[in-house]
Structure 1
Amino acid sequence: MEHISVISIGEGEPVVLIPGLSSPRAVWDGIAPELARTHRVLLVQVNGFAGDDPGANVKPGVLDGVIADLDKLIAREKLEKPAIIGHSMGGLVGMMLASRHPDRVGRLMVVDALPFIGTLFGAKDVAGIIARSEQMRDMMLAAKRMPTPVTTDPGGIWSNTPEGRIRIANWSAKTDARVSAQAMHEVMTTDIRPELAKIAARPFTVLYATGGGPQATAIWQREYAGSPATLVAVPDSYHFVMLDQPTRFAAEVEAFLAQ
C-alpha cells in the first residue's frame, strides 16, 4: 500500500494496532504476542517511519492516505468490524476512520490522543494553530538528525523511564524527517471534535496518561465532553503508556476486548 504496511500474526477476531508519530509497529511488542494467542493481530506501520521507504507519504495527505489504506485493508481482508487500537497519531487516525467509515470499526481504543492537539498549544480552533504548525514542520525538517543508535538518555516528556526515552529516540532517529514533519503538521491542523458523536464503535475507550500532572484530567474531560467516549486515566505514565505501565496497559486492552 502507498501509505502503510501491515504484518498479520495469530488467528481469531481481528485487532488492528496503529502506532503513533515516528513509531514502529514494535511499540506494541508488549501486547502483540499475547493477543495473537486468541486474535488475529494486524500490526500497522506508517511508510517512512522506522526506516521504511516513505512511499506516498512525502506528499501532503498522510493522514487521509493512511485512513484510505486502512479502509482498503479491512475490505480486502474481509475483516468483520475489527477492534482498532491506536496510540497518539494512531489514535487520531482510529477516530477519523471510525467517524468517516462507521461500518468498518467494531471497537475503538484511543491511547493518549486528543481529538484536537491544538488545545495543548492554546489554540481554540485550526485557524489558531496553522502558523505554529507550519513553524513546527519547518523546524522538524531542519533539525539535525540524532545519531543511531542512541545509547544515552535524551530526556524529554515521552516516557518516564530512561529506557523508554532511549527506545523512543531510536525510533525517531530512523524516521524520514519529511514524513514526520508533514504528519505532525496534519495532526496539529486536524480537529475532529465535531465528528466524535458520529463514532458508533462500542466500546469507545480513551486511555490517557496523568504522569504530567493533574491538569491532564481536566484537559481530556473537556476535549471529549459530550462524546460517547469512556475516559480511563493511567497514573504514573507519560505519553507512551504501553512502555511506562505495560502491565496496566495489557489489562486495559484485555478488558476492552472482553466487553
Structure 2
Amino acid sequence: MKSFNIAVRTLTLTLGLTGALVSLPSLAVPASVTQSKTIIEAEQAGCACFNVTVSGEGPAIILIPGLASSGEVWHSTVEALQADYQLHVLTLAGFGGVAPLTNKAWAHGFLSSQQQGILRYIQEQQLDKPVVIGHSLGGYLALALAATAPEAIGGVVNVDGLPALGALFAQAAASAPNQNSSQNALASFDPMAMAQGMANNESWHQRIVNDMLRSDGMTSGRVMGELMQADLRPQLSNIRVPVLTLGALQHGAPYSTPEQVQQNFADQLANAPVQYHHFAFAENSKHFIMADAPEWLNQQITQFLRSHRMQGE
C-alpha cells in the first residue's frame, strides 16, 4: 500500500460556457440541427450539477449516491479505497443540502444534465478513464455513461440500480392490480418507514431520513418521475467497459422474493454484453448495501478494481 497525502477539497461544480463542448458519441445529429444541439450542450454546461469532495491519490474513481442521498453514504468505501485511489464523491443537485438545478438546466432534464455534467467534469479535471460507482439513481447514471460514453470511463460498479425502473413497476402493477394506488402511497408517506424498508441496519435509519429531509422535495419527485420514464435497456448493448452489478436480495424494486430480484436484474440487464457485465448479490441486504453489508460491498468493489488495474497493465 503506497503512502499518500490526503488532499481533500470540496468543489461546487459550476461548469462554464467556454471551452470545448461535451458530445455523446452515441447521439448522431444531422447537420440541420447542429446549431440547436450546441445550444443545448452549452446550457447544460452551465449547470451547477453537483458538489464534489476529493480525497486520496491514485487512479480516479467517481462515486455517485442515490436519490435524496448525500455523498456521505460512501463513507466506508472511501475509507477502504483512499489509500490507493483518488476518490471523487458527488452529491447531486437538490439532494443532501446541495442547491437544486436551475430552471434552465431542468429544461433538459435531471438525468441528461447529470450525465453531461459528469462527462464535462471528467474532461475538465483531466481524469484518465475513471471507474464510476453508483448507488440506485447513481447506478442508473453509471450504466448510462457506460452505454453512451464508454470511451470516457474505465468501468462501472452499479449498486442496486436498474436501467428501466418504471418498466419493472408497470410489470408488478399488471400482476397485482389490486395493490394500493400511488396516490394512497403518497398520502401515507413516512420517511422513517421508508428508511426502515431500505436498510436493515438500524443505525442508518436516521441517517437516511436526515438526507431525505435535507433534500429538495420537488427535485426528489421530479427525478423519480424521470426514472420511472427512463429506459436504458436498448442502449446497454453499446457497453464496452467492465460493469459489475451488485444487487440486494432482501429489497426488490418493487418488493419481491430473492429469486424474483435476481430474475428482475437478469431481465433488465439482458442486453448488456456478457463479456463485459457480471452480477453479484448481497443475500442479507436491503437497498442500502453500504449499510447492511459494507464489508461485502467494499470487497466486491476492491476485487473489481484490482481486476480492472491488472487488465490495464
Match among 237, 244, 252 for residue 292 of structure 2: 244
1:46 aligns with 2:92: yes
Given that residues 7 and 42 in structure 1 are in contact (C-alpha distance below 8 angstroms), is that contact kept between their aligned partners in structure 2?
A: yes
Instruction: Give SS of 2:266's match.
Output: helix
Name the counterpart of 1:218.
263
Question: TM-score normalized by structure 2?
Answer: 0.72
1:117-136 residue pairs with structure 2 within 5 A? 117-123=165-171
Give the superposition deviation at 1:143: 8.5
Give the superposition deviation at 1:172: 0.6
Match among 69, 80, 102 for residue 128 of structure 2: 80
Q: 1:143 to 1:183 in 2, by over 3 A?
A: farther
CA distance in 1, matches of 2:106, 2:271: 35
CA distance in 1, matches of 2:211, 2:236: 30
Given that residues 211 and 236 in structure 1 are in contact (C-alpha distance below 8 angstroms), is that contact kept between their aligned partners in structure 2?
A: yes
Give the superposition deviation at 1:208: 0.2
CA distance in 2, matches of 1:256, 1:77: 24
Name the counterpart of 2:101.
55
Q: 1:136 to 1:49 in 2, by over 3 A?
A: farther
Give the superposition deviation at 1:179: 0.9
Name the counterpart of 1:132.
none
CA distance in 2, matches of 1:144, 1:17: 28
Give the superposition deviation at 1:119: 3.1
What RMSD over aligned residues (CA atoms) do the two structures have, in Å?
Answer: 2.4
Instruction: Give SS of 2:69's match.
Output: coil
1:199 aligns with 2:239: yes
Name the counterpart of 2:51.
5
Give the superposition deviation at 1:145: 8.9
Given that residues 3 and 56 in structure 1 are in contact (C-alpha distance below 8 angstroms), is that contact kept between their aligned partners in structure 2?
A: no
Amino acid aligned to 1:48: G
Give the superposition deviation at 1:105: 1.0
Give the superposition deviation at 1:33: 2.4
Unaligned runs of 5+ in 2: 1-13, 15-47, 175-180, 252-256, 308-313
Name the counterpart of 1:149.
none
Q: 1:95 to 1:144 in 2, by over 3 A?
A: closer
Unaligned runs of 5+ in 1: 129-134, 147-151
Question: TM-score normalized by structure 1?
Answer: 0.86
Of structures 1 and 2, the larger Rg is shown by 2
CA distance in 2, matches of 1:190, 1:155: 24
Name the counterpart of 1:30.
76
Report percent identity of matched pairs.
Answer: 29
Figure out how many residues of one structure are paired with residues of the other and give that number.
242
1:163 aligns with 2:203: yes
